[in-house]
Structure 1
Protein backbone atom coordinates (compact mmCIF):
# COMPACT_ATOMS: atom_id res chain seq x y z
CA UNK A 1 0.00 0.00 0.00
CA UNK A 2 1.40 3.43 -0.92
CA UNK A 3 2.31 5.86 1.84
CA UNK A 4 -0.37 8.32 0.71
CA UNK A 5 -3.06 5.60 0.60
CA UNK A 6 -1.94 4.35 4.03
CA UNK A 7 -2.20 7.84 5.51
CA UNK A 8 -5.66 8.39 4.00
CA UNK A 9 -6.79 5.05 5.39
CA UNK A 10 -5.36 5.79 8.86
CA UNK A 11 -7.06 9.21 8.90
CA UNK A 12 -10.40 7.72 7.85
CA UNK A 13 -10.28 4.74 10.21
CA UNK A 14 -8.89 6.85 13.05
CA UNK A 15 -11.93 9.15 12.84
CA UNK A 16 -14.35 6.21 12.69
CA UNK A 17 -12.82 4.07 15.42
CA UNK A 18 -14.18 4.47 18.92
CA UNK A 19 -11.89 1.83 20.46
CA UNK A 20 -8.47 2.71 18.97
CA UNK A 21 -6.48 5.93 18.93
CA UNK A 22 -5.19 7.21 15.57
CA UNK A 23 -1.70 6.00 16.50
CA UNK A 24 -3.04 2.53 17.27
CA UNK A 25 -4.93 2.44 13.97
CA UNK A 26 -1.66 3.29 12.21
CA UNK A 27 0.07 0.37 13.97
CA UNK A 28 -2.76 -1.99 12.95
CA UNK A 29 -2.59 -0.85 9.32
CA UNK A 30 1.19 -1.43 9.31
CA UNK A 31 0.66 -4.93 10.69
CA UNK A 32 -2.04 -5.50 8.06
CA UNK A 33 0.38 -4.48 5.28
CA UNK A 34 3.03 -6.84 6.66
CA UNK A 35 0.52 -9.73 6.75
CA UNK A 36 -0.63 -9.01 3.18
CA UNK A 37 3.00 -9.05 2.01
CA UNK A 38 3.59 -12.30 3.88
CA UNK A 39 0.46 -14.01 2.53
CA UNK A 40 1.33 -13.58 -1.19
CA UNK A 41 -2.24 -14.58 -2.05
CA UNK A 42 -4.21 -13.54 -5.13
CA UNK A 43 -6.07 -11.12 -2.83
CA UNK A 44 -2.87 -9.17 -2.17
CA UNK A 45 -4.22 -6.02 -3.82
CA UNK A 46 -7.02 -5.74 -1.28
CA UNK A 47 -6.15 -7.91 1.72
CA UNK A 48 -5.48 -11.47 2.82
CA UNK A 49 -7.46 -14.71 2.74
CA UNK A 50 -8.80 -17.17 5.29
CA UNK A 51 -5.58 -19.21 5.45
CA UNK A 52 -3.53 -16.17 6.47
CA UNK A 53 -6.21 -15.09 8.94
CA UNK A 54 -6.30 -18.52 10.56
CA UNK A 55 -2.51 -18.37 10.85
CA UNK A 56 -2.85 -15.00 12.63
CA UNK A 57 -5.46 -16.41 15.04
CA UNK A 58 -3.19 -19.36 15.81
CA UNK A 59 0.13 -17.49 16.10
CA UNK A 60 -1.08 -14.36 17.88
CA UNK A 61 -4.07 -15.58 19.90
CA UNK A 62 -3.50 -19.33 20.33
CA UNK A 63 -6.75 -20.36 18.62
CA UNK A 64 -6.81 -23.92 17.28
CA UNK A 65 -10.44 -24.93 16.72
CA UNK A 66 -11.08 -25.10 12.96
CA UNK A 67 -14.81 -24.36 13.20
CA UNK A 68 -14.23 -21.35 15.47
CA UNK A 69 -11.43 -19.91 13.32
CA UNK A 70 -13.56 -20.15 10.17
CA UNK A 71 -16.48 -18.50 11.93
CA UNK A 72 -14.30 -15.68 13.30
CA UNK A 73 -13.05 -15.11 9.75
CA UNK A 74 -16.63 -14.81 8.51
CA UNK A 75 -17.53 -12.24 11.17
CA UNK A 76 -14.51 -10.12 10.19
CA UNK A 77 -15.25 -10.52 6.45
CA UNK A 78 -18.28 -8.22 6.46
CA UNK A 79 -18.76 -8.17 2.67
CA UNK A 80 -18.35 -11.96 2.32
CA UNK A 81 -15.80 -11.73 -0.48
CA UNK A 82 -13.39 -14.25 1.08
CA UNK A 83 -10.82 -11.59 1.91
CA UNK A 84 -10.07 -9.37 4.90
CA UNK A 85 -9.59 -5.72 3.89
CA UNK A 86 -7.79 -3.14 6.04
CA UNK A 87 -11.13 -1.65 7.10
CA UNK A 88 -12.46 -5.09 8.10
CA UNK A 89 -9.21 -5.86 9.94
CA UNK A 90 -9.35 -2.71 12.08
CA UNK A 91 -13.13 -2.90 12.58
CA UNK A 92 -13.02 -6.57 13.51
CA UNK A 93 -10.13 -6.15 15.94
CA UNK A 94 -11.92 -3.24 17.65
CA UNK A 95 -14.61 -5.66 18.87
CA UNK A 96 -12.26 -8.67 19.16
CA UNK A 97 -9.84 -6.83 21.45
CA UNK A 98 -11.81 -4.03 23.09
CA UNK A 99 -15.50 -4.48 22.35
CA UNK A 100 -18.16 -3.49 24.85
CA UNK A 101 -20.20 -6.33 26.36
CA UNK A 102 -23.01 -5.51 23.92
CA UNK A 103 -20.63 -5.67 20.93
CA UNK A 104 -19.09 -8.94 22.13
CA UNK A 105 -22.52 -10.51 22.64
CA UNK A 106 -23.47 -9.63 19.05
CA UNK A 107 -20.11 -10.88 17.75
CA UNK A 108 -20.24 -14.22 19.63
CA UNK A 109 -23.82 -14.80 18.51
CA UNK A 110 -22.77 -14.26 14.88
CA UNK A 111 -19.89 -16.73 15.33
CA UNK A 112 -22.20 -19.38 16.81
CA UNK A 113 -25.04 -18.89 14.31
CA UNK A 114 -23.37 -21.20 11.80
CA UNK A 115 -25.90 -20.86 8.98
CA UNK A 116 -26.70 -17.19 9.57
CA UNK A 117 -30.46 -17.69 10.06
CA UNK A 118 -30.65 -15.64 13.26
CA UNK A 119 -30.77 -18.62 15.66
CA UNK A 120 -28.31 -20.95 17.38
CA UNK A 121 -30.00 -24.32 16.93
CA UNK A 122 -29.54 -27.59 18.79
CA UNK A 123 -27.61 -29.00 15.78
CA UNK A 124 -25.30 -25.99 15.69
CA UNK A 125 -24.57 -26.29 19.42
CA UNK A 126 -23.83 -29.99 18.96
CA UNK A 127 -21.44 -29.29 16.07
CA UNK A 128 -19.51 -26.66 18.05
CA UNK A 129 -19.36 -28.57 21.33
CA UNK A 130 -18.34 -31.94 19.85
CA UNK A 131 -14.72 -30.74 19.52
CA UNK A 132 -14.54 -29.45 23.07
CA UNK A 133 -15.05 -32.68 25.03
CA UNK A 134 -12.27 -35.13 25.75
CA UNK A 135 -13.28 -38.46 24.27
CA UNK A 136 -13.40 -41.37 26.68
CA UNK A 137 -13.06 -44.76 24.96
CA UNK A 138 -15.69 -46.50 27.07
CA UNK A 139 -18.36 -43.84 26.58
CA UNK A 140 -20.42 -42.63 23.65
CA UNK A 141 -19.15 -39.05 23.27
CA UNK A 142 -22.31 -37.98 21.46
CA UNK A 143 -24.38 -38.64 24.58
CA UNK A 144 -22.23 -36.30 26.67
CA UNK A 145 -22.55 -33.57 24.05
CA UNK A 146 -26.32 -34.01 23.85
CA UNK A 147 -26.44 -33.60 27.64
CA UNK A 148 -24.43 -30.37 27.37
CA UNK A 149 -26.76 -29.04 24.67
CA UNK A 150 -29.78 -29.85 26.87
CA UNK A 151 -28.17 -28.01 29.80
CA UNK A 152 -27.39 -24.99 27.60
CA UNK A 153 -30.95 -24.82 26.27
CA UNK A 154 -32.44 -25.20 29.73
CA UNK A 155 -30.32 -22.31 30.99
CA UNK A 156 -30.47 -19.98 27.96
CA UNK A 157 -33.67 -20.68 25.98
CA UNK A 158 -35.97 -18.17 27.70
CA UNK A 159 -38.87 -18.47 25.25
CA UNK A 160 -38.67 -22.30 25.21
CA UNK A 161 -38.73 -22.69 21.41
CA UNK A 162 -35.82 -25.15 21.31
CA UNK A 163 -33.26 -22.68 19.89
CA UNK A 164 -31.50 -19.48 20.93
CA UNK A 165 -32.37 -16.10 19.44
CA UNK A 166 -30.11 -13.06 19.95
CA UNK A 167 -32.59 -11.96 22.66
CA UNK A 168 -32.21 -15.29 24.53
CA UNK A 169 -28.43 -15.19 24.16
CA UNK A 170 -28.08 -11.58 25.33
CA UNK A 171 -30.33 -12.13 28.38
CA UNK A 172 -28.39 -15.27 29.36
CA UNK A 173 -24.99 -13.56 29.04
CA UNK A 174 -26.11 -10.46 30.93
CA UNK A 175 -27.35 -12.73 33.73
CA UNK A 176 -24.10 -14.72 33.70
CA UNK A 177 -21.14 -13.31 31.75
CA UNK A 178 -19.34 -16.67 31.63
CA UNK A 179 -21.94 -17.85 29.08
CA UNK A 180 -20.53 -15.40 26.49
CA UNK A 181 -18.30 -18.13 25.02
CA UNK A 182 -20.55 -21.06 25.95
CA UNK A 183 -20.12 -22.83 22.60
CA UNK A 184 -16.39 -22.39 22.06
CA UNK A 185 -13.55 -19.88 22.45
CA UNK A 186 -13.93 -17.15 19.83
CA UNK A 187 -12.40 -14.19 21.70
CA UNK A 188 -8.77 -13.82 22.83
CA UNK A 189 -7.95 -14.53 26.46
CA UNK A 190 -6.53 -11.69 28.55
CA UNK A 191 -2.93 -12.93 28.30
CA UNK A 192 -2.85 -13.21 24.49
CA UNK A 193 -4.76 -9.94 24.08
CA UNK A 194 -2.27 -8.06 26.26
CA UNK A 195 0.69 -9.68 24.48
CA UNK A 196 -0.75 -8.67 21.08
CA UNK A 197 -1.38 -5.09 22.18
CA UNK A 198 2.07 -4.68 23.74
CA UNK A 199 3.74 -5.98 20.59
CA UNK A 200 1.51 -4.09 18.14
CA UNK A 201 1.19 -0.77 20.00
CA UNK A 202 4.73 0.13 21.16
CA UNK A 203 3.49 3.21 23.03
CA UNK A 204 1.51 1.02 25.46
CA UNK A 205 4.79 -0.36 26.79
CA UNK A 206 5.79 3.09 27.98
CA UNK A 207 2.61 3.59 30.05
Structure 2
Protein backbone atom coordinates (compact mmCIF):
# COMPACT_ATOMS: atom_id res chain seq x y z
CA UNK A 1 0.00 0.00 0.00
CA UNK A 2 1.88 3.03 -1.29
CA UNK A 3 1.47 6.13 0.82
CA UNK A 4 0.28 9.42 -0.65
CA UNK A 5 2.80 12.24 -1.00
CA UNK A 6 1.05 14.10 1.81
CA UNK A 7 1.18 10.98 3.99
CA UNK A 8 4.90 10.59 3.33
CA UNK A 9 5.50 14.27 4.15
CA UNK A 10 3.62 13.97 7.46
CA UNK A 11 5.52 10.79 8.31
CA UNK A 12 8.88 12.40 7.49
CA UNK A 13 7.97 15.49 9.57
CA UNK A 14 6.98 13.33 12.53
CA UNK A 15 10.07 11.08 12.33
CA UNK A 16 12.36 14.10 11.86
CA UNK A 17 11.04 15.65 15.05
CA UNK A 18 11.63 12.47 17.06
CA UNK A 19 14.98 11.57 15.46
CA UNK A 20 18.02 12.69 17.42
CA UNK A 21 20.49 11.67 14.73
CA UNK A 22 19.09 12.47 11.28
CA UNK A 23 17.93 15.68 9.62
CA UNK A 24 14.76 15.93 7.54
CA UNK A 25 16.29 15.09 4.15
CA UNK A 26 18.12 12.10 5.66
CA UNK A 27 14.88 10.84 7.22
CA UNK A 28 13.20 11.26 3.82
CA UNK A 29 15.89 9.05 2.22
CA UNK A 30 15.52 6.44 4.97
CA UNK A 31 11.73 6.38 4.48
CA UNK A 32 12.21 5.85 0.70
CA UNK A 33 14.69 3.05 1.39
CA UNK A 34 12.23 1.58 3.90
CA UNK A 35 9.47 1.55 1.24
CA UNK A 36 11.81 -0.23 -1.19
CA UNK A 37 12.64 -2.85 1.45
CA UNK A 38 8.97 -3.35 2.36
CA UNK A 39 8.23 -3.99 -1.32
CA UNK A 40 10.85 -6.78 -1.20
CA UNK A 41 9.48 -8.31 1.99
CA UNK A 42 6.84 -11.00 2.25
CA UNK A 43 3.34 -9.52 2.08
CA UNK A 44 2.72 -11.09 5.50
CA UNK A 45 3.13 -7.68 7.18
CA UNK A 46 0.87 -5.84 4.71
CA UNK A 47 3.21 -2.92 4.14
CA UNK A 48 3.73 -2.23 7.86
CA UNK A 49 7.35 -3.33 7.81
CA UNK A 50 9.87 -5.84 6.58
CA UNK A 51 11.01 -9.16 7.96
CA UNK A 52 14.22 -10.64 9.33
CA UNK A 53 15.40 -11.91 5.93
CA UNK A 54 15.19 -8.51 4.23
CA UNK A 55 16.80 -6.91 7.31
CA UNK A 56 19.72 -9.36 7.26
CA UNK A 57 20.25 -8.96 3.51
CA UNK A 58 20.20 -5.16 3.87
CA UNK A 59 22.71 -5.01 6.74
CA UNK A 60 24.87 -7.55 4.95
CA UNK A 61 25.01 -5.58 1.69
CA UNK A 62 25.14 -2.11 3.27
CA UNK A 63 27.59 -2.75 6.11
CA UNK A 64 29.19 -6.11 5.38
CA UNK A 65 27.69 -7.62 8.54
CA UNK A 66 27.67 -11.39 7.99
CA UNK A 67 27.40 -13.16 11.35
CA UNK A 68 23.92 -14.73 11.51
CA UNK A 69 23.78 -14.81 15.32
CA UNK A 70 24.75 -11.13 15.51
CA UNK A 71 22.30 -10.16 12.76
CA UNK A 72 19.48 -11.97 14.57
CA UNK A 73 20.30 -10.07 17.76
CA UNK A 74 20.57 -6.75 15.89
CA UNK A 75 17.13 -7.47 14.40
CA UNK A 76 15.79 -8.02 17.94
CA UNK A 77 17.23 -4.71 19.17
CA UNK A 78 15.56 -2.89 16.24
CA UNK A 79 12.25 -4.78 16.61
CA UNK A 80 11.25 -3.07 19.86
CA UNK A 81 7.65 -4.30 19.86
CA UNK A 82 8.69 -7.93 19.14
CA UNK A 83 6.27 -8.29 16.22
CA UNK A 84 8.81 -9.91 13.91
CA UNK A 85 8.96 -6.98 11.53
CA UNK A 86 10.77 -3.66 11.45
CA UNK A 87 8.45 -0.63 11.25
CA UNK A 88 9.53 2.68 9.73
CA UNK A 89 9.97 4.27 13.18
CA UNK A 90 12.07 1.31 14.40
CA UNK A 91 14.13 1.52 11.20
CA UNK A 92 14.97 5.23 11.59
CA UNK A 93 15.59 4.95 15.34
CA UNK A 94 17.69 1.78 15.03
CA UNK A 95 19.87 3.18 12.25
CA UNK A 96 20.31 6.39 14.27
CA UNK A 97 21.94 4.41 17.08
CA UNK A 98 23.83 2.08 14.74
CA UNK A 99 25.34 4.86 12.61
CA UNK A 100 25.45 7.94 14.82
CA UNK A 101 24.65 6.86 18.34
CA UNK A 102 26.33 8.35 21.37
CA UNK A 103 28.68 6.12 23.37
CA UNK A 104 25.84 5.66 25.89
CA UNK A 105 23.40 4.51 23.17
CA UNK A 106 25.97 2.22 21.58
CA UNK A 107 26.79 0.62 24.95
CA UNK A 108 23.10 -0.16 25.53
CA UNK A 109 22.80 -1.47 21.98
CA UNK A 110 25.91 -3.72 22.14
CA UNK A 111 24.90 -5.01 25.58
CA UNK A 112 21.43 -5.90 24.24
CA UNK A 113 22.99 -7.72 21.26
CA UNK A 114 25.28 -9.76 23.54
CA UNK A 115 22.56 -10.51 26.11
CA UNK A 116 21.21 -13.41 24.04
CA UNK A 117 18.38 -14.41 26.39
CA UNK A 118 17.43 -10.86 27.41
CA UNK A 119 17.83 -11.41 31.16
CA UNK A 120 19.85 -8.23 31.73
CA UNK A 121 23.22 -10.00 32.04
CA UNK A 122 25.85 -11.31 29.66
CA UNK A 123 26.59 -14.78 30.99
CA UNK A 124 29.65 -16.96 30.46
CA UNK A 125 27.64 -19.05 27.99
CA UNK A 126 26.57 -15.98 26.02
CA UNK A 127 30.16 -14.71 25.85
CA UNK A 128 31.25 -18.14 24.68
CA UNK A 129 28.53 -18.26 21.97
CA UNK A 130 29.33 -14.77 20.67
CA UNK A 131 33.11 -15.31 20.65
CA UNK A 132 32.79 -18.74 19.07
CA UNK A 133 30.77 -17.19 16.25
CA UNK A 134 33.04 -14.22 15.69
CA UNK A 135 36.49 -15.83 15.90
CA UNK A 136 38.15 -17.51 12.97
CA UNK A 137 39.03 -21.02 14.05
CA UNK A 138 41.91 -22.59 12.16
CA UNK A 139 41.40 -26.26 11.23
CA UNK A 140 44.75 -27.06 12.86
CA UNK A 141 43.65 -25.60 16.21
CA UNK A 142 43.37 -28.31 18.80
CA UNK A 143 40.38 -27.86 21.06
CA UNK A 144 39.42 -24.35 19.93
CA UNK A 145 36.68 -24.32 22.59
CA UNK A 146 39.36 -24.30 25.30
CA UNK A 147 40.92 -21.17 23.81
CA UNK A 148 37.52 -19.48 23.69
CA UNK A 149 36.86 -20.45 27.32
CA UNK A 150 40.19 -18.82 28.26
CA UNK A 151 39.14 -15.64 26.43
CA UNK A 152 35.84 -15.61 28.33
CA UNK A 153 37.71 -15.82 31.65
CA UNK A 154 40.04 -12.98 30.61
CA UNK A 155 37.04 -10.86 29.57
CA UNK A 156 35.26 -11.54 32.86
CA UNK A 157 38.31 -10.60 34.92
CA UNK A 158 38.81 -7.44 32.87
CA UNK A 159 35.18 -6.33 32.78
CA UNK A 160 33.45 -7.53 35.93
CA UNK A 161 34.54 -5.08 38.62
CA UNK A 162 32.61 -7.04 41.22
CA UNK A 163 33.75 -10.40 39.88
CA UNK A 164 36.28 -11.28 42.57
CA UNK A 165 34.56 -9.42 45.39
CA UNK A 166 30.97 -10.58 45.27
CA UNK A 167 30.70 -13.33 42.69
CA UNK A 168 30.85 -16.11 45.30
CA UNK A 169 28.93 -18.61 43.22
CA UNK A 170 31.14 -17.86 40.20
CA UNK A 171 28.15 -17.62 37.92
CA UNK A 172 30.30 -15.27 35.84
CA UNK A 173 27.65 -12.82 34.71
CA UNK A 174 28.31 -9.32 33.47
CA UNK A 175 25.77 -6.65 34.37
CA UNK A 176 25.21 -3.54 32.26
CA UNK A 177 26.91 -1.50 35.01
CA UNK A 178 30.06 -3.65 34.74
CA UNK A 179 29.95 -3.51 30.95
CA UNK A 180 29.46 0.27 30.96
CA UNK A 181 32.31 0.87 33.42
CA UNK A 182 34.70 -1.34 31.42
CA UNK A 183 33.79 0.36 28.12
CA UNK A 184 34.14 3.85 29.60
CA UNK A 185 37.62 2.88 30.86
CA UNK A 186 38.53 1.29 27.53
CA UNK A 187 36.33 2.10 24.49
CA UNK A 188 37.72 -0.82 22.49
CA UNK A 189 35.78 -3.18 24.79
CA UNK A 190 32.50 -1.93 23.26
CA UNK A 191 32.56 -4.84 20.80
CA UNK A 192 34.44 -7.24 23.07
CA UNK A 193 32.22 -10.22 22.25
CA UNK A 194 32.06 -9.80 18.49
CA UNK A 195 31.49 -7.10 15.88
CA UNK A 196 27.92 -5.77 15.99
CA UNK A 197 28.42 -2.21 14.74
CA UNK A 198 28.91 -1.40 11.06
CA UNK A 199 32.46 -0.93 9.89
CA UNK A 200 32.03 2.51 8.33
CA UNK A 201 34.90 3.59 6.14
TM-score w.r.t. the length of structure 2 is 0.92
Q: Output one character per residue of 1:43-73: Cα deviation in whole Å (capped at 9) or x when no partner.
A: 2420100000000011100011010000000
RMSD across aligned positions (CA): 1.1
Partner of 2:174: 164
Partner of 1:96: 98
For the residue of structure 2 that corresponds to 1:130, the secondary structure is helix
For the residue of structure 1 that corresponds to 2:49, the secondary structure is coil
Q: How many correspondences in the alignment?
A: 191
Alignment of 1:42-61 (within 5 A): 42-61=44-63
Displacement after TM superposition at 1:138 (Å): 4.5
**Conserved 8 A contact 2:98-2:106:** yes
Q: After TM superposition, which residue ranges in structure 1, 4 or more long, deviate above 4 angstroms?
A: none
The structure 2 residue matched to 1:139, chosen from 138, 142, 166, is 142
Unaligned 5+ runs, structure 2: none
Mean Cα deviation higher: 17-26 or 78-87: 17-26
Q: Does 1:188 align with 2:198?
A: yes
- The verdict on how the C-alpha distance between 1:113 and 1:138 changes in structure 2, with shifts beyond 3 A counting, is closer
How far apart, in 1, do the equivalents of 2:196 and 2:89 lie?
20
- The verdict on how the C-alpha distance between 1:77 and 1:144 changes in structure 2, with shifts beyond 3 A counting, is same
TM-score w.r.t. the length of structure 1 is 0.89
